[in-house]
Amino acid sequence: MTTYKAPLREYRFVLSELFDVGSLAQLPGYTEATPDTIEAILEEAGKLCEEVLFPLNRSGDEEGCHYENGVVRTPAGFKEAYRAFREGGWTSLACDPEWGGQGLPHTLAFFVEEMVCSTNMSFGMYPGLSHGAYRALSMHGTEAQKKTYLPKLADGTWSGTMCLTEPHCGTDLGQIRTKAIPAGDGKYRITGTKIFISAGEHDLTDNIVHLVLARLPDAPEGTRGISLFVVPKFLPGPDGGIGARNGVRCGSIEHKMGIKASATCVMNFDEAEGELVGAPHKGMRAMFTMMNAARLGVGVQGLGLAETAYQGARAYAAERLQGRALKGPAYPEKPADPIIVHPDVRRMLLTMKATIEAARALAAWTAIELDVSEKHPDPERRQEAEDLVALLTPIVKAWFTDVGFAAANLGVQIMGGHGYIREHGMEQLVRDARITQLYEGTNGIQALDLVGRKLPMHMGRLLRRFFHPVSGFIEEQAADQTMAEFVLPLAKAFGKLQQATAHIAQAGLKDPDEAGAAAADYLKMFALTASAYMWAKTAKIALAKSEAGEDAGFYRAKLATARFFMARLLPETSSLLTVIASGAKPVMALEAEAF
């Protein structure tokens, strides 16, 4: 069986030592978000996830969702778990108090979400999508729409979805055919079919609020002609409760590789009543609010699954007795040594540990900057934070989900045959993790977003939000000999990243295929360099605390893991630079007919 214990000590290190989460309490509206309060909430969230959500993970996977005549039922125990989740206030954590929320930082919500995804990713889909709908309506909805929907989304009695994909178009949303016909009184009739709609129909909430992309009759071609509409399953009644059933039905649910307890639906809109959200033909701008939040959320899903895979593999490696250590028996009193003595098993565990802990640190940096971008009183500081979050979003989504899938696969490898069979739970993590690399924009699309949009945006301004702090840190630590083993590898990788950036900028101007061919490798190089930056900052703290105190072992483990990352994982940036410099020709030379 897989095991899970909320990594609260890791959270405390990242939030209170590596970063100063206490600074969030100085922001307007966050005065109650003190480190003690955040730690207490994380502890309670850990209990809920360990005791309520984790026990349903395997049974939910085995039972899956049930569809019959447009009705979807979630697996046994999910309704009760959702009721406990909602009544505990977890749906309202980062929502505005004006709409019944608790007004707590996104940073706190990030780490709660990691625990939810670690213990039951399918369950986490339902409240996760609802919060995305909440954010889109809170930023782009009318006051009447906010009053109608936000309190219900915040308290979890209603849930939300995002309806983008159609049978003939996924990423290329410019091909959307769903129609919105004006019906008078500010209402529209929505007709069309959407597919792959997570949580499109289920039995957890009283109502489901669909945010739907559609075209008005006078819409221009392409993405410039897309509008966003709010289309509830049940029309709100005059008292704010449930009214008449709307013209939207679930046509079927998908039978999937993983996340089987999350209903993935075909949704049919038949002259369903909807309201325009935002301006006509500006739906993509509003939907990107939801999509960007979702992309960060999907990255956290990858991180959560990686943590569970690591914990399960670590426990197995410590208990499984097979063979003897290469130097001779490490535990002569036992019939064999635990497999954790073997270098290759340790290599795999350390790869998991090093990438997970770096990703978590990067998640904390991103989350704190997201809070700053929304709450800081200085507009210039808000803009700086917004730039960094925009730059890091495709990296968080793509890299974290790659880490999650890789960690789950390494977990299977460590457990051998036991990892491959259902009983031990690791194979479910592989299946669940695979979708994270696909939805909310495949990881290849994230790489294109990074090189095609984020790098050139505002004449490279976004890129400077990362380059400047890294460069400053390297310069500050240059004279500290105790930091040389961490700073020198970081400096080399950073130099290679700068070279790759310049190459893509120059070559991509002449031929867009040059940027496209380099994109995935560039994103990985960026992620490895950002991870090295996180590890170098971690090492600075750990060096000062690794020799004394009851927690000295924790910091020595940090140093050992940092050394492994610098020596065994970061050198890949050299080969990535070579690949990027090879250009587009090796990729594009083969004629399509020859494949």
Which residues have a catalytic role annotated? 440
The secondary structure of residue 166, as a DSSP letter, is: B
Contact 22, 38 (CB under 8 A): no
Q: Name the residue with tokens 């509830």.
A: 232
Q: What is the three-class DSSP state of 276? A: strand
- Closest Cα partner for 290 from 201, 241, 368, 230? 230
What's the rounded Cα separation, in Å, for the pair 581 and 573? 12
Q: What is the three-class DSSP state of 442? A: coil
Contact 74, 261 (CB under 8 A): yes
68: exposed, middle or buried (Cβ count in 10 Å: 0-12, 13-18, 19+): exposed
What's the rounded Cα separation, in Å, for the pair 24 and 40? 16
Give me the DSSP letters along 49-118: IIIIIGGGHHHHHHH--EEETTEEEPPTTHHHHHHHHHHTTGGGTTS-GGGT-----HHHHHHHHHHHHH
Q: Pseudo-torsion of CA 261, 262, 265, 267, nearest 10°?
A: 130
Buried b (16+ CB within 10 A) or exposed e, 220-252: eeebebbbbbbbbbbbbeeeeebeeebbbbbee
Categorise residue 156: left if φ over 0, alpha if ψ from -120 to 50, beta otherwise. left
- Cα atoms found within 13 Å of the Cα of residue 155, Cβ hemisphere only: 10
333: exposed, middle or buried (Cβ count in 10 Å: 0-12, 13-18, 19+): exposed
Query: What residues contact 591, with CB distance under 8 A and at least 6 apart?
Result: none
Give me the DSSP letters along 86-100: HHTTGGGTTS-GGGT
What's the rounded Cα separation, in Å, for the pair 160 and 103? 19
Identity of the residue numbered 221: E
